Structure formats: C-alpha cells, structure tokens
C-alpha cells in the first residue's frame, strides 16, 4: 500500500559467548575489580582481620574457578551479562535491535547481527585478546 510504513523484521544482536567471557576477564574493568579486592585484602591483613581476609581470598579462588567454568561453557555468565547491560541498551538503540542475546537462545529463522566486535570494543579488548578469542572460536565453532 503506497505511503504505508514498511514492516521491518525484528533483528536481534548476538555475540560469541567464549569471546565475551575471555574479553571480560582480560578487561581493564575486571582488573579494576581485582585491584580493589587486593587493596582491601592488604588492608584487612594489616588490621589483622583474618575472617575478612579469608573471605577475600575465597572470592579470588572462586572467581578463577567461575571464569574457567564460564570459558568451558559449563557455568552461566550472569555476572558478565549484568556488567554489559548498559552497552546492550546502547547497541539496541543505536543499531535498532530488538535485543542482544546469547545466540543459543535465538530462533534459527530469526534475523540476527553479530555484535561481538562492538562488545569487544566496549570491553577494551587488546589485539592479543581478540586473537585468542578468534582462535578459541575457530576451535570450538561456537
């Protein structure tokens, strides 16, 4: 019908899960979180607060284990998705997407666009991180 607005199929943004996990744990953002925890650990050790020191040391060990499990696809990435929410909102608005989701949740018939490179930019991924992510993606095919 002339003059009627064209209907556009909803397009969803998707990302390579392993690339995002790798980039997050190698990002300046994660490094800042760890630096804060190390500073707090040194402070509580100096104050002889052994209970809090144990909690912080446990956090470090659990974080390493979680990161490994996430990289292997054996643990949810909710902590990373929470951090990415502001960028997801920006990408949805900027690229006119219906959402940004893990590709495993997308209907194969749906239109999608890969936003992984934009998320890597937001996470300030280095060229080394990008190379590692590409190699992981090539090996796993995910």
**Quick one: which of 14, 142, 132, 24 has its CA closest to 82?**
24
Assigned token pair, 119: 């998320």
- pLDDT level of residue 8 (50, 70, 90 thresholds): low
> Residue 1: its pLDDT value, please?
42
> Residue 103: its pLDDT value, please?
82
Residue 6 belongs to some domain of the structure: no
> Residue 14: its pLDDT value, please?
94
Residue 107 belongs to some domain of the structure: yes
Residue 57 belongs to some domain of the structure: yes
Residue 2 belongs to some domain of the structure: no
Residue 17 belongs to some domain of the structure: yes
3-state secondary structure string across 53-115: HHHHHHHHHHHHHHHHHHHCCCCCCHHHHHHHHHHHHHHHHHHCCCEEECHHHCCCCCEEEEC
**Quick one: which of 23, 2, 3, 4 has its CA closest to 116?**
23
Task: For residues 5-28, give the mean pLDDT.
Answer: 85
On the CB side of 53, CA atoms within 13 Å amount to 9
Q: What is the tens place of the pLDDT at every residue in 71-91?
A: 999 999 999 999 999 999 999
β-pair type (111-114, 11-14):
parallel
Q: Which domain holds residue 23?
A: 11-140
Q: Decide if pLDDT at 25 tops 90.
A: yes
Assigned token pair, 108: 């194969």
pTM over 0.85, yes/no: no
CB 97 within 8 A of CB 132: no
Give the total number of structural domains in the chain: 1
Distance CA 142, CA 137 (A): 6
Q: Decide if pLDDT at 140 tops 80.
A: no
Average pLDDT, the chain: 89
List phi, psi (to 5°) of 101.
Answer: -140, 165
Residue 1 belongs to some domain of the structure: no
């Amino acid at each position: 019908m002339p003059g009627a607005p064209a209907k556009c199929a909803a397009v969803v943004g998707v990302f390579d899960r392993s690339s995002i996990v790798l980039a997050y744990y190698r990002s300046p953002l994660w490094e800042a979180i760890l630096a804060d925890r190390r500073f707090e650990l040194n402070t509580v050790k100096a104050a002889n607060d052994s209970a809090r020191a144990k909690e912080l040391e446990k956090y470090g060990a659990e974080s390493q284990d979680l990161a490994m499990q996430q990289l292997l696809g054996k643990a949810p990435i909710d902590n990373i998705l929470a951090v990415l929410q502001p960028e997801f909102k920006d990408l949805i608005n900027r690229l006119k997407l219906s959402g940004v989701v893990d590709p495993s949740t997308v209907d194969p018939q749906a239109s999608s666009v890969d936003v992984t490179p934009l998320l890597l930019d937001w996470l300030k991924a280095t060229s080394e991180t990008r190379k590692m992510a590409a190699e992981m993606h090539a090996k796993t095919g995910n």
